Amino acid sequence: MDILELLREAASNCPAEDFLAQRGTLLEMSYAANDAVVTPRKPGRLSYPLRLAIAARISGQCKVDTLRQIYLERLAGLPEADEWSAVADTSAQPPMDTFTAAIVAYSDLVTLHPAKATRKDIVILQKSGLEDADIVQLAELVACINYLTRLVPGLRALETAS
Amino acid sequence: MSRPVHNFTTATLDWLPYIRPVRLEEATPEQLDAMKVTPSNRKISDYVLTLAHDPESLAIRSPLFNAIMYGRDGLSRAGREMGAIATSIHNHCIYCTSVHAARFLQMTGREDLIQEIFAEGEEAALDDYWQPVFDFSLKLTRTPGEISPTDIEILRTGGLTDLEIFDLVCSVAIFGWANRLMHTLGEAITP
């Protein structure tokens, strides 16, 4: 199952309103947003497996298991999966290179404690080798997955409450 | 001279990026398209110029944001703004809070609600309609994995239809995104 199927299925199971007719476009735009941050046409220096691992990590931290499974399955389908599975796993703190460690630290902070983020956290990314485009791509990835980790459980609670 | 703003306000603020925004004269065609730059629209904010470093995301997020906040039917504009305010309060996004609290005030005139939220934060005591909207928004923001049908029932009891609840979910979610850009890539400053 991909994210659009997940959203559509939940929406179609909400009988009180015809969600798909009224908000179907919004669900498709959300799916496109996911693609734009997880598997963009130009991934730059943030590889697909890194992006999928971060997405799975955030989903786990937000306790949205349906999303986490989708990202883990996509990650498992890539040849580099083993190399990145530790990033997807929040239970361990594997050894990482400076570049990856800075990305994971930023993702953890902005997911779990966004209010605490300051200019210093961007400086750390810069000192760890991230350029301006890398930083904005990372920020969009983390922010968009935090969008989806609210959209999916909200919609599924509506589905269940129906 | 501009200075950082750390307290919630409805005053008009500026935003200072922590990284160098894209220079409009150096922007690629893809970046110009994502920013919606046209011969008659060349006044682009530093926020948009900063996000133009990732044009693929920007091109998708802007219409998604507009669809959620300004879409037809469903939850009132003020209801969507309350979702934005609650989320932005928790995430401590001073800039987003200022914009959306000001819009909520314009629509409702409820200065009492905004002052209560600014004074008491997440513990604010609101009226019978807005309290469940505010509380649901905070819970979905703080602990999304714990949202349950019981939370939906509380909103229904408060008078919201399921479509309105879905619109509230979307408002909270999109500000979970917007705050994490606005608050982490720069800071609110006085004009």
**Which two tokens mark A36?**
């734009």
The whole-chain average pLDDT of chain B stands at 96
pLDDT at A132 exceeding the cut of 70: yes
pLDDT at B142: 98
State the complex-level ipTM.
0.96
**Domain definitions of chain B by residue range:** 72-177
Domain boundaries, position A7:
3-161
Q: Which of A32, A39, A33 is nearest to A74 (CA)?
A: A39
CB-nearest to B19 from A16, A110, A122 is A122
The residue-averaged pLDDT of B117-143 equals: 98
| Residue showing tokens 């994971």 | A104
Residue B160 touches partner A, C-beta closer than 8 Å: no
pLDDT at A17: 64
pLDDT in tens, A97-111: 999 999 999 999 999
Percent of chain B with pLDDT over 70: 100
pLDDT in tens, A33-61: 999 999 999 999 999 999 999 999 999 99
Query: Rounded to two decimals, what is the model's pTM?
Result: 0.97
Phi, psi (deg, nearest 5) at residue B93: -90, 100
CATH number for the domain that contains residue A15: 1.20.1290.10
Q: Do B185 and A162 touch (CB under 8 A)?
A: no
Q: Could you name the CATH architecture of B72-177?
A: Up-down Bundle (1.20)
The residue-averaged pLDDT of B135-158 equals: 97
pLDDT at A109: 98
CB-nearest to B60 from A36, A123, A153 is A36
Instruction: Please provide the DSSP assignment of A17-57 as one string.
Output: S-HHHHHHHHHHHHHHHHHHHHS-S--TTS-HHHHHHHHHH
pLDDT in tens, B31-90: 999 998 777 777 899 999 999 999 999 999 999 999 999 999 999 999 999 999 999 999
Q: Do B161 and A119 touch (CB under 8 A)?
A: no
Domain count across chain A: 1
Residue A58 Cα distances to A96, A108, A111, angstroms = 18, 8, 7
Window 43-102 of B: residues touching A by CB (8 A cutoff) are 50-51, 53-54, 56-61, 63-64, 67-68, 71, 73-74, 90-93
What lies within 8 Å, CB to CB, of B126 at 6+ separation is: B113, B116, B117, B134
